[in-house]
Amino acid sequence: MTKPEISKLGYVSLVSTDLEKSLVFFKEVIGLEETEVMDGVHYLRAWGDFQHHTLSIRQGDRAYVSHIGWRTKQKEDVLAFKELLENEGINVQRIEPWTTPGIGEAIRFTVPSGHTFELYYDVKKPAADEKRASVLKNQTYKAWAKGISPRRIDHVNLHTAEDWKETYSFFQDVLGFKLREYLKEDDSNQILAGWMSVTALVHDVALVSRQKDELPTPARLHHLSYWVDDSQDVLRAADICREHGLNFCGPGKHSISQALYLYVADPGSGCTVEVFSGGYLIFEPDWEPVAWNASERAFGNTYWGDSITKKEIIKHTIEA
């Protein structure tokens, strides 16, 4: 029997302690479009995202990520994953179709890193209203309508204080992620950070292993990332952040992934967003993961530009 597969990152479910500030940030600064508001939850997506939403935000008494959604390759994969996960001893919650607007039947579970994942296949792809719709048939909204205006969601970066061997094994052997690049201890094979994907991207998810005393809670979200088309868009993002009085890190370029970056935090939730562009794609079926040593960490993080190792803004994580 063929193992079930994940096709892509779907959405992030965010809880904010100041919903009003978060909505201004994500709608006016980042430039996401709102597709629906239901029961106090706001559903947003970028102008090139097709499914109902790639981010949901609601008010809460603390800031955290409720769960991270991933779309499977086939409808049958959802229940196939349920069976596979239960055979691994994972408790799986079944979510009735359309309980979450735009999302069909789903399963939700906690991975060994401590993060909550959701898997689903069926989605709704609502059209934009006439005033916001693009004239392009292969694009949802007009580009550049407001804010930084990213094309699509790109990846999430997760931190965990749980066992690194069990966590990386689960992501690869059970969920099917491929390790593309990784950071390890100089004198051992202990993985400190791994960049993994189910697509041709260098990473759909990055996972960073941290000691328990370094994290307030075992499972954290370091950042979520939205993709812009080119380097000029990243520079434009810096102008927009400055106009809104927001501190940011970047622009710069990672050695790992070779991508351009800018990091800025949502004032409402504290959630950091990476504006992301460039990099490379992986099409080789026999790709060998690229290893970086801990002594190369600063260079791996910053090839050139504003060093992320010196910026407090991206050291901030929220509970996930």
Residue among 17, 42, 21, 182 at smallest CA distance from 102: 42
Structure letter (DSSP) for residue 32:
P
140: in domain: no
Tell whether 197 and 263 lie within a shared domain: yes
211: in domain: yes
Tell whether 97 and 163 lie within a shared domain: no
Distance between CA atoms of 194 and 208, rounded to whole angstroms? 7
Tell whether 167 and 254 lie within a shared domain: yes
149: in domain: no
Tens-place pLDDT, residues 10-57: 999 999 999 999 999 999 999 999 999 999 999 999 999 999 999 999
Which domain covers residue 242, as residue numbers? 154-319
Report pTM: 0.96
User: Where does a domain end: 94, 120, 146?
Assistant: 120
Tell whether 210 and 84 lie within a shared domain: no
Phi, psi of 294 (to 5 degrees): -60, -35
- Kindly report whether the peptide bond that precedes residue 251 is cis, defined as omega within 30 degrees of 0: yes
* E strand or H helix that includes residue 43: strand 41-45
Tell whether 91 and 197 lie within a shared domain: no
192: in domain: yes
Tell whether 182 and 276 lie within a shared domain: yes
Tell whether 282 and 187 lie within a shared domain: yes
Distance between CA atoms of 238 and 253, rounded to whole angstroms? 14
Tell whether 105 and 167 lie within a shared domain: no
Tell whether 105 and 186 lie within a shared domain: no
Inform me whether the pLDDT recorded for 320 exceeds 90.
no
Tell whether 109 and 213 lie within a shared domain: no
- Kindly report the average pLDDT of the chain as a whole number: 95
Tens-place pLDDT, residues 225-276: 999 999 999 999 999 999 999 999 999 999 999 999 999 999 999 999 999 9
User: Where does a domain end: 99, 120, 141?
Assistant: 120
Asked if residue 206 lies in contact with residue 279, where contact means CB atoms within 8 angstroms, the answer is no
59: in domain: yes
Distance between CA atoms of 261 and 150, rounded to whole angstroms? 13
229: in domain: yes
CATH of residue 88's domain is 3.10.180.10
Task: Write down the pLDDT at residue 315.
Answer: 63
Q: What total of structural domains would you count in the chain? A: 2
137: in domain: no
Asked if residue 277 lies in contact with residue 260, where contact means CB atoms within 8 angstroms, the answer is yes
Distance between CA atoms of 183 and 181, rounded to whole angstroms? 7
Tens-place pLDDT, residues 91-149: 999 999 999 999 999 999 999 999 999 999 999 999 999 999 999 999 999 998 999 99
Give 310's pLDDT tier (boundaries 50, 70, 90).
Answer: low
138: in domain: no
For residue 311, what are the contacts with CB-CB under 8 A and spacing of at least 6?
A: 249, 263
Asked if residue 258 lies in contact with residue 278, where contact means CB atoms within 8 angstroms, the answer is yes
Task: State the pairing for strand pair 152-160/55-59.
Answer: unpaired
Give 314's pLDDT tier (boundaries 50, 70, 90).
Answer: low
Tens-place pLDDT, residues 73-93: 999 999 999 999 999 999 999
Asked if residue 207 lies in contact with residue 158, where contact means CB atoms within 8 angstroms, the answer is yes
Tell whether 36 and 171 lie within a shared domain: no
Tell whether 192 and 269 lie within a shared domain: yes
Tens-place pLDDT, residues 149-166: 999 999 999 999 999 899
